């Protein structure tokens, strides 16, 4: 558990935001809290006794809607209890389920006050006011994404040592299985000047590691301060100049948009961390084609080779879908083979989940659940072994660790390696925000144990305490 936020004073209203899904939802949840702060709302850690609850939802795989309705059922009781006591609770559903199934939410959960899609968060204060007057739910699921970024305040509250910054939103790729182009809309890149200004502010407030976010982050093509178009590489060079920003990451990338300039940025910029999340989805060309990914397995392997030539210590992470419609046993084996050839340091793998309205959902040859389950298990066992081997390979090495917060045990801090591995180290809490060399003692399947190379008496004292 992290430290819990203290309860706000009585003149403040309590806001509870829960996020599911991708990191962009986490970033958006922060912006919603920022936009509500001037109205007197302060974030709390639990929905009990909250004046407002926002559920920021994800629609990427099925069951999301059912999970949402069971959560709403629980909140309905809390809302009724508060109302019986003369108080109220504004209940809002945001995110991709709100975008895709707004009408169903209004019909099935009439006690919900606000339904808002990802492009409408800047309208929250006005919607809260309208909800106070309206009888039914106030609904906003329009798509003008530029407006959202023009009107949202920049990150207000300090974001922490590691922080997310959304630079791009939406997707035009239309992979056959995916709902994102429908819930997040067309690809849009924020102007570079806005991104740089927000990054400068975050650095001044203590952020040391910045992760740039976008559903298709390496398709970034924002307007540069000089009016020309900037790609992601150009933006990374500019961000690396900001004092205080020591580490840069970006996610999620599409293999098709990894251009030469971006690969060169991995070679030239020490701030760009040697870790890249590059979803491949499948190792079979037939399936990749059915998925409309626009690349082959060989394209992916070649890309990995070029990346590793530019940055030899680069570690890769990926996403795999097991059991896409039409996937044969041979296709599945091709995926296993690609995983073996690349050797991933980390990965996310999913059982194919049909999403209404997507081309794959209507395609023939859906797998039975047992086959999908078995293939997923095989994929996961292999990926787990690779991750454990990668972590174990760091034992005995000295690596740069950015300390991010309290560790598992007293006297310990937790931090991150350049390869995004969590590390636990005995160290004084004054080191939070600092990068220091750490000798890795042991690599566990999900984390590392290390010791400071230059521990001071203060670091040891903390450990003894
Ligand atoms: N924009 C990112 C990821 C979006 S969703 C990208 O292009 O990689 C995150 C991951 O969820 C995807 O990479 C994919 O592996 C998985 N996913 C998306 N739709 C899915 C579906 N219908 N069933 C199973 N997994 C899915
Ligand atoms: Fe979805 Fe494909 Fe776009 Fe990623 S690139 S968000 S998987 S459609
Ligand atoms: Fe989920 Fe929407 Fe993100 S569907 S993964 S919250 S873009």
* Residue 25 Cα to ligand 3 middle (Å): 7
pLDDT given for residue 8 in this prediction: 61
Same structural domain, 157 and 233: yes
- Closest atom of ligand 2 to 178 CA is 1
Domain closes at, from 365, 393, 421: 393
Q: What pLDDT was estimated at residue 66? A: 86
pLDDT at 2 exceeding the cut of 80: no
Residue 437 inside a domain? The answer is: yes
Q: Could you tell me the distance, in angstroms and rounded to a whole number, from the CA of residue 57 to the centre of ligand 2? A: 17
Substitution site in 21, 59, 279 for ligand 1 pocket (most atoms within 8 Å of beta carbon): 279
Most confident of the following: 59-73, 74-88, 293-307: 293-307
Higher-confidence residue of 150 and 120: namely 120
Q: Is 297 contained in some domain? A: yes
**DSSP string of 306-355?**
HHHHH-TT-EEEEEEEES-TT--HHHHHHHHHHHHHH--SEEEEEE----
Which of 96, 143, 216, 217 gets mutated to test ligand 3 (max ligand atoms within 8 A of its CB)? 96
State the pLDDT at residue 65. 84
For the chain, give the percent of residues with pLDDT over 90. 80
The stretch 443-447 carries a mean pLDDT of 95
8-57 tens-digit pLDDT: 666 789 999 999 999 999 999 999 999 999 999 999 999 988 999 999 99
How far away, in angstroms, is 294 Cα from ligand 1 center? Answer: 15
For the CA of 215, the closest atom of ligand 3 is: 7
How far is residue 287's CA from residue 323's CA, in Å, rounded to a whole number? 10
Average pLDDT value for residue range 85-91? 92
Atom of ligand 2 nearest to the CA of 254: 5
230 has a pLDDT exceeding 90: yes
pLDDT score of 12: 84
Instruction: Give the number of whichever ligand sits closest to the CA of residue 100.
Output: 3
- Amino acid 9: pLDDT: 62
Say if residue 66 is in the same domain as residue 47.
yes
The mean per-residue pLDDT over the stretch 335-341 comes to: 98
pLDDT at 1: 35
* Average pLDDT of the residues in 358-371: 92
**Mean pLDDT, residues 89-111:** 94
Task: Supply the pLDDT for residue 250.
Answer: 98
- pLDDT computed for residue 465 by the predictor: 43
Which ligand 2 atom sits closest to the C-alpha of 174?
Answer: 8
What's the structural domain count of the chain? 3
User: Whole-model pTM?
Assistant: 0.91
- 239-263 average pLDDT score: 97
Q: DSSP string of 23-42?
A: HHHHHHHHHHHHHHGGGTEE
Mutate to test the pocket of ligand 2, among 254, 282, 348, 357 (most ligand atoms within 8 A of CB): 254
Same domain, 65 and 88: yes
Q: Does 93 lie in the same domain as 28?
A: yes
Residue 108 shares a structural domain with residue 127: yes
In the sheet that holds 41-43, the strands lie side by side as: 41-43, 13-19, 52-57, 90-94, 114-116, 138-140
Domain range enclosing 259? 148-393
Domain CATH code at residue 258: 3.80.30.20
In the predicted structure, residue 373 carries a pLDDT above the cut 70:
yes
Domain closes at, from 111, 143, 175: 143
374 and 446 inside one domain:
no
State the Cα–Cα distance between residues 149 and 86, nearest whole angstrom.
37
What mean pLDDT value characterizes the chain? 92
My answer on whether 311 and 202 are in the same domain is yes
Percent of the chain surpassing pLDDT 70: 94
Report the pLDDT value the prediction gives residue 458, as an integer from 0 to 100: 87
Provide mean pLDDT across the span 244-249: 97
Same domain, yes or no: 197 and 315: yes
Q: Which bound ligand lies closest to the C-alpha atom of 321?
A: 1
Q: Which atom of ligand 3 is nearest to the CA of 56?
A: 6
Ligand located closest to 118 CA:
3
**Which residues have C-beta atoms less than 6 Å from ligand 2?**
171, 173-175, 178, 180-181, 215-216, 254
Please give the distance, rounded to the nearest whole angstrom, from the Cα atom of residue 103 to the centre of ligand 2.
25
Position 3 scores a pLDDT of: 44
Helix ranges (DSSP H) in 85-162 = 95-108, 124-133, 145-151
How many angstroms does the Cα of residue 350 sit away from the middle of ligand 2?
A: 14
Distance 449 CA to ligand 1 centre (A): 32
Same domain, 153 and 55: no
Give the pLDDT of residue 403: 97
C-alpha span between 367 and 369 (Å, rounded): 6
Do 201 and 321 have their domain in common?
yes
Q: Which of 29, 56, 60, 148 to mutate to test the pocket of ligand 3 (most atoms within 8 A of CB)?
A: 60
CATH number of the domain where residue 419 is located:
2.40.50.140
């Amino acid at each position: 558990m992290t430290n819990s936020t203290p309860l706000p004073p009585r003149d403040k209203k309590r806001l509870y935001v829960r996020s599911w899904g991708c990191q962009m939802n986490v970033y958006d949840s922060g912006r919603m809290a920022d936009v509500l702060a001037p109205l007197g709302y302060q974030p709390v850690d639990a929905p009990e006794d909250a004046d407002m609850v926002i559920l920021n939802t994800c629609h990427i795989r099925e069951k999301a809607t059912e999970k949402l309705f069971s959560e709403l059922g629980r909140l309905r009781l809390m809302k009724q209890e508060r109302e019986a006591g003369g108080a109220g609770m504004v209940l809002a559903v945001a995110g991709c389920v709100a975008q895709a199934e707004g009408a169903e939410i209004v019909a099935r959960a009439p006690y919900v006050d606000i339904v808002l899609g990802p492009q409408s968060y800047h309208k929250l204060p006005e919607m809260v006011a309208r909800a106070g007057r309206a009888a039914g739910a106030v609904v906003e699921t329009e798509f003008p994404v530029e407006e959202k970024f023009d009107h949202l305040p920049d990150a207000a509250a300090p974001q922490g040592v590691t922080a997310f910054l959304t630079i791009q939103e939406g997707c035009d790729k239309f992979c056959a299985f995916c709902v994102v182009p429908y819930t997040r809309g067309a690809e849009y890149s924020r102007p570079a000047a806005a991104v740089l200004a927000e990054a400068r502010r975050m650095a001044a407030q203590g952020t040391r590691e910045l992760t740039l976010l976008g559903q298709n982050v390496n398709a970034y093509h924002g307007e540069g301060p000089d009016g020309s178009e900037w790609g992601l590489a150009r933006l990374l060079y500019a961000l690396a100049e900001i004092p205080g920003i020591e580490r840069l990451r970006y996610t999620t990338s599409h293999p098709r948009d990894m251009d030469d300039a971006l690969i060169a940025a991995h070679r030239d910029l020490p701030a760009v961390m040697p870790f890249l999340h590059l979803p491949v989805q499948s190792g079979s060309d037939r399936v990749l084609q059915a998925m409309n990914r626009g690349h082959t397995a060989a394209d992916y392997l070649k890309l990995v080779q070029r990346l590793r030539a530019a940055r030899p210590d680069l570690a890769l992470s990926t996403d795999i879908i097991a059991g896409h419609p039409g996937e044969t046993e041979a296709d599945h084996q091709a995926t296993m083979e690609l995983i073996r050839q690349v050797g991933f340091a980390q990965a996310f793998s999913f059982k194919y989940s049909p999403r209404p309205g997507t081309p794959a959902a209507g395609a023939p040859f859906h797998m039975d659940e047992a086959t999908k389950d078995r293939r997923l298990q095989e994929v996961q066992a292999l990926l787990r072994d690779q991750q454990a081997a990668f972590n174990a390979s760091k034992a005995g090495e000295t690596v740069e660790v950015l300390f991010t917060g309290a560790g598992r045990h007293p006297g310990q801090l937790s931090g991150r390696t350049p390869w995004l591995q969590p590390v636990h180290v005995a160290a004084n809490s004054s080191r939070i925000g600092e990068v220091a060399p750490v000798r890795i003692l042991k690599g566990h399947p999900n984390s590392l144990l290390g010791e400071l190379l230059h521990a001071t008496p203060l670091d040891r004292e903390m450990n003894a305490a």
